[in-house]
Copies of this chain bind each other. A is one copy, B any other.
Amino acid sequence: MSRPHPDYGPPPPLRADGLRIIPLGGVGEIGRNMTVFEHAGRLLIVDCGVLFPEDFQPGVDLILPDFTAIRDRLGDIDALILTHAHEDHIGAVPYLLRERRDIPIIGTRLTLALLNAKLAEHRIKAVTREIREEERHTYGPFECEFFAVNHSIPDAVAVAIRTDAGLVLHTGDFKMDQLPLDGRLTDLGGFARLGREGVDLLLSDSTNAEVPGFVSSEREIAPVIDGIFRDATRRIIVACFASHVHRVQQVLDAAETHGRSVCFVGRSMVRNMGVARDLGLLRVPPGLIIDARDVDSLPDRNICLISTGSQGEPLSALSRMANRDHQIRIQAGDTVVLASSLIPGNENAVFRVINGLTRYGAKVVHKGVAKVHTSGHAPAGELLYVLNATRPSNVMPVHGEWRHLRAHAKLAEATGVPADHVVLAEDGMVIDLLDGRARITGAVPCGFVYVDGAAVGDVGEPSLKDRRILGEEGFITITVVVDAAAGKVIVGPDLSARGFTDSPATFDSVARLVSDGLADAMRGGMNDTAALQQLVRRTVGRWVNEHYRRRPMIIPVVLEV
């Protein structure tokens, strides 16, 4: 699945005083963030996440960064730094560890705790080292300094990487809520100190670069949630991301105030909130949490469920409630709060859930109608602060699709970074920092690596193309056994179709066409199976096009006795 880049060849050998940066994911897309830094023959990796498939990648479970470029250099990796515990930053770690089990993994307390919970499900025990913001640690030739950043999960960090080639700051994912619930601000002062020292290259989160202005504080959600709790007379169901500890905290606080017990619903919600509570990051009043079994024993007005499924995932509890396919039966007067973003591509699924819940009489509150969500990523106004604080010589927008990267590039230029010092790269491109300039010097083969079921990488573009055809058009198989030497059809043709039509007994006329065509062809001397199959395919294809104006996949199976 790895493909060479169409515009760039292999990079030149890296100079001893140079730093090489290779994004293996996350640049040109939102997801599977992974950046490889190379210096003095050694490698440092920042993040190793997954990407979720789009509609043109049907049936795929996950998409991994392409490890091809580092596969024969696994021994050179001095550390894997995880900036925070979101899936698009840690989800591919189990797959990287399959290739080398003892890569030292660096992260904050919550990040490692959530990683370890995930690795336990994969039955992997990793080598981890806990770090905190404001600490400095050296991994091989990479001197790293960590900075607190505020994001939609606690305990996120940015990392500054010092080498002989210069100082690089990688922000990770961040925003700059000035009133964060936990008081842990993005360390803009630290960024400014780096700026005074001289940042040679800034890699910064581009997700919201198109969005003007500043984030609302997470604190502004609390009064809205409180109002919902005050007004609701029956059950309240809040759906949000299973890692959004602060959002869950605000719901717990509201539940406590308004005398509702809380039940966590969904495996990852239960798991993550257990971890957050154990680490003291989630304050849970004694007796507040109840078991799912006990929900029915309390009056509706004393119940609050906190659930996964805010993206309309079809198998989630929330989707099943919307279809009356869950033990919790939605009733008129229930209130459902989607306290989450709406990730592009999920709109139809989310609206289906909202419509289903509404149909059964629930009141559905979502960010389109009330301030029940604020983004985790810095919009343009905040990105400017970071650009101005760090005054970087070179900027490489990361964590974004092309539209985000370009918007971020414009912001960098607006703060005075020369356009030719802004590196607009894509996954697989090789950027070298040399003599204070960052430039694209080549590319390594890089592609989508698909996880489907138990297998990694066996499903690629050919299978996906077939799936897209099959999923749109279905298929027709034509099986026939011939005695080519005798020029006779022995068995068949046997036609069957799936995903093509609901009508039975459609194929009598084309079966005759196939049968006659084969007999003619064999009488004319055609006795090669491949040629006979081709004949069958053409006959059926023409018939389908004439009668249906469709293009199902046509699978001729001509067997010889």
| A54-84 vs B, Cβ < 8 Å mask (1 yes, 0 no) | 1100110000000000000000000000000
A161 to chain B: closest CB distance in Å?
28
**Does the CB pair A455–B548 fall under 8 Å?**
yes
A403-B364, A547-B454, A561-B561 in contact; A58/B494 too (CB < 8 A)? no
**Does the CB pair B470–A559 fall under 8 Å?**
no
Is the CB of A393 closer than 8 A to any CB of chain B?
Answer: no
Is the CB of A223 closer than 8 A to any CB of chain B?
Answer: no
**Does the CB pair B460–A354 fall under 8 Å?**
no
Whose C-beta in chain B lies nearest to the C-beta of A545? Answer: B453
17 residue pairs from A and B, CB less than 8 Å apart: A58-B472, A210-B369, A345-B348, A452-B550, A455-B548, A458-B503, A459-B502, A461-B502, A466-B474, A466-B499, A470-B470, A470-B499, A479-B479, A490-B561, A498-B553, A498-B555, A561-B561
**Does the CB pair A463–B402 fall under 8 Å?**
no
Which residue in B459, B492, B498, B561 is a CB contact (below 8 Å) of A470?
Answer: B498
Collect the chain B residues with CB atoms within 8 Å of residue A109's CB.
none
Whose C-beta in chain B lies nearest to the C-beta of A557? Answer: B479
Which residue in B54, B455, B481, B555 is a CB contact (below 8 Å) of A559?
Answer: B481
**Does the CB pair A59–B474 fall under 8 Å?**
yes
A424 to chain B: closest CB distance in Å?
9
**Does the CB pair A453–B401 fall under 8 Å?**
no
**Does the CB pair B550–A477 fall under 8 Å?**
no
Q: CA A555 – CA B497 in complex, angstroms?
A: 10
Q: CA A356 – CA B402 in complex, angstroms?
A: 8
**Does the CB pair B561–A210 fall under 8 Å?**
no
Is the CB of A344 closer than 8 A to any CB of chain B?
Answer: yes
Q: CA A210 – CA B366 in complex, angstroms?
A: 11
Is the CB of A355 closer than 8 A to any CB of chain B?
Answer: yes
**Does the CB pair A345–B344 fall under 8 Å?**
no
A345-B347, A467-B499 in contact; A559/B472 too (CB < 8 A)? no
**Does the CB pair A463–B474 fall under 8 Å?**
yes
Collect the chain B residues with CB atoms within 8 Å of residue A553's CB.
498
A466-B499, A472-B467 in contact; A454/B54 too (CB < 8 A)? no
Q: CA A555 – CA B479 in complex, angstroms?
A: 12
Collect the chain B residues with CB atoms within 8 Å of residue A481's CB.
481, 491, 559, 561
For window 345-398 of chain A, which residues contact chain B by CB distance below 8 Å? 345, 347-348, 351, 354-356, 358-359, 364, 368-369
Collect the chain B residues with CB atoms within 8 Å of residue A348's CB.
54-55, 344-345
Whose C-beta in chain B lies nearest to the C-beta of A450? Answer: B502
**Does the CB pair B471–A467 fall under 8 Å?**
yes
| A471-504 vs B, Cβ < 8 Å mask (1 yes, 0 no) | 1111101010100000000111010101111110
Which residue in B463, B490, B496 is a CB contact (below 8 Å) of A500?
Answer: B463
Collect the chain B residues with CB atoms within 8 Å of residue A468's CB.
471
Which residue in B455, B477, B490 is a CB contact (below 8 Å) of A555?
Answer: B477
**Does the CB pair B344–A344 fall under 8 Å?**
no
Whose C-beta in chain B lies nearest to the C-beta of A503? Answer: B458
Q: CA A498 – CA B477 in complex, angstroms?
A: 12
A369 to chain B: closest CB distance in Å?
6
| A520-561 vs B, Cβ < 8 Å mask (1 yes, 0 no) | 000000000000000000000000000111100101010111
A23 to chain B: closest CB distance in Å?
15
Q: Work out how many copies of this chain go into the complex.
A: 2
**19 more CB-based (< 8 A) A-B contacts, given A494-B559, A498-B553, A557-B557:** A344-B347, A345-B347, A345-B348, A351-B403, A354-B403, A358-B402, A359-B402, A455-B548, A459-B500, A463-B474, A463-B498, A463-B499, A463-B500, A467-B474, A467-B499, A471-B471, A475-B475, A481-B491, A481-B559
**Does the CB pair B466–A498 fall under 8 Å?**
yes
Q: CA A463 – CA B54 in complex, angstroms?
A: 23
Is the CB of A462 closer than 8 A to any CB of chain B?
Answer: yes
A399 to chain B: closest CB distance in Å?
14
Which residue in B210, B356, B463, B560 is a CB contact (below 8 Å) of A502?
Answer: B463
Whose C-beta in chain B lies nearest to the C-beta of A466? Answer: B499
**Does the CB pair B358–A460 fall under 8 Å?**
no
**Does the CB pair B355–A477 fall under 8 Å?**
no
A470 to chain B: closest CB distance in Å?
4
Give 9 nearest A-B pairs by CB, closest first.
Answer: A471-B471, A59-B472, A453-B549, A470-B470, A466-B499, A467-B499, A453-B550, A454-B549, A355-B402
Is the CB of A406 closer than 8 A to any CB of chain B?
Answer: yes
A94 to chain B: closest CB distance in Å?
15
A396 to chain B: closest CB distance in Å?
16
Collect the chain B residues with CB atoms within 8 Å of residue A463's CB.
474, 498-502
**Does the CB pair A401–B351 fall under 8 Å?**
yes
**Does the CB pair A355–B559 fall under 8 Å?**
no
Collect the chain B residues with CB atoms within 8 Å of residue A464's CB.
499
**Does the CB pair B477–A59 fall under 8 Å?**
no
A320 to chain B: closest CB distance in Å?
16
**Does the CB pair A559–B479 fall under 8 Å?**
yes
A533 to chain B: closest CB distance in Å?
11
